[in-house]
Amino acid sequence: MSEETVDLVKRLKIVEGHVRGVQRMVDEGAYCIDILRQTLAIRRALEKFDALVLDRHLHHCVTEAIRSSDSADQERALAEILEIFAATRA
Amino acid sequence: MSEETVDLVKRLKIVEGHVRGVQRMVDEGAYCIDILRQTLAIRRALEKFDALVLDRHLHHCVTEAIRSSDSADQERALAEILEIFAATRA
Amino acid sequence: MSEETVDLVKRLKIVEGHVRGVQRMVDEGAYCIDILRQTLAIRRALEKFDALVLDRHLHHCVTEAIRSSDSADQERALAEILEIFAATRA
Amino acid sequence: MSEETVDLVKRLKIVEGHVRGVQRMVDEGAYCIDILRQTLAIRRALEKFDALVLDRHLHHCVTEAIRSSDSADQERALAEILEIFAATRA
């Protein structure tokens, strides 16, 4: 496993632990606002994870697709970025 | 535990399982875009969870605070909603 | 007009001028990334505007509705906040 | 001006008119929730505009940069996409 992959999995393990922590908070009747602050932190952590995945994707898959002579591959690579972009903000 | 609490915990367990599924995808070298589609689904699930928590919060804590005669409580309750609102969109 | 209203209108006039500025950039063939940086700034300004409107709304309309003895009014006030919250993040 | 540019400018003119409409609403003391619904619609229109600009950017500037032999140009093109991506969701 590459160092990058190890880092990505580690980040998700932290997110997983964080989600379990929020389960306990809900179980124990924590204050709603404190729960919302924690789920916000989880979403921020997922956004950071996504940024790293997209970085890797642009530097490898997209760069290769654009340099290839296969125009269908190129178009698919760009369409996928636009799809992710539209989905994250909409 | 109230029915609402049971539902909230169940939703978080599903999120937790989903996060573990993405770990496996990363481990096994899944395509980046497929990973991003899954983390987007996780964030949508967390947003739905947050909406339910906020709903409960408005109907109980905020309603009580506003009806109380304690103006510091009232102000705190409104300030917290504005804080969450600003944090989720900024 | 209250001071608050004057401030809100002034903020929208700045947004309007900003949007016209981006029209000129597009017209003159500005670099795409520079255009996107400007539209991001416009959205940040609108988010700040929204936060001020919501603040006012919570302190006046919502507070009055919750204190009224009309439970339909109360429910509507809370449902509208949840609607705005869901729409801004989804 | 290309057809694409004409379309982009037209979209911004509609946004500009929409912002002026919200100014009138504020001036005339419209209900806060109705104001927030309109600013949400404006932000949706800006997001659609951004998606079109990004589409054009990926198909032209980014594709050219990646095909060029200038690795600094390539890196800058990818870094800018990541910047926009991080800014829109954070």
Question: Mind listing the domains of chain D with CATH numbers?
Answer: 3-89 (1.20.58.1000)
Alpha-carbon distance of D70 to A35, in angstroms, equals 48
Share of chain D above pLDDT 90, in %: 82
Residues of D in contact with C20 (CB under 8 A): 12, 16
Q: pLDDT of A73-84, one tens digit each?
A: 999 999 999 999
Q: pLDDT of A46-78, one tens digit each?
A: 999 999 999 999 999 999 999 888 889 999 999
Residues of A in contact with B82 (CB under 8 A): none
* D80: Cα separation from own chain's centroid: 15
Single-letter code of the amino acid located at A41: A
Share of chain A above pLDDT 90, in %: 82
Which of D78, D80, D84 is best to mutate for the A interface (most A CBs within 10 A)?
D78
Single-letter code of the amino acid located at D78: L
Alpha-carbon distance of A69 to C45, in angstroms, equals 43
For B20, counting Cβ atoms within 10 Å of its Cβ (0-12 exposed, 13-18 middle, 19+ buried), the class is: middle
Using CB atoms, pick whichever of D44, D59, D82 lies closest to residue A78: D59
Question: Under an 8 A CB cutoff, do A22 and B33 touch?
Answer: no
Residues of D in contact with C15 (CB under 8 A): 19
Query: How distant, in Å, are the alpha carbons of A81, A86, B32, B43 from that of B37?
Result: 11, 12, 9, 10
Q: What's the CA angle centered on C88, arms C52 and C3, to 5 degrees? A: 10
pLDDT for the residue numbered C69: 83
Smallest CA-to-CA distance from A78 within D49, A61, D44, D85 is with A61
Question: Under an 8 A CB cutoff, do C27 and D1 touch?
Answer: yes
Question: Under an 8 A CB cutoff, do C19 and D39 touch?
Answer: no
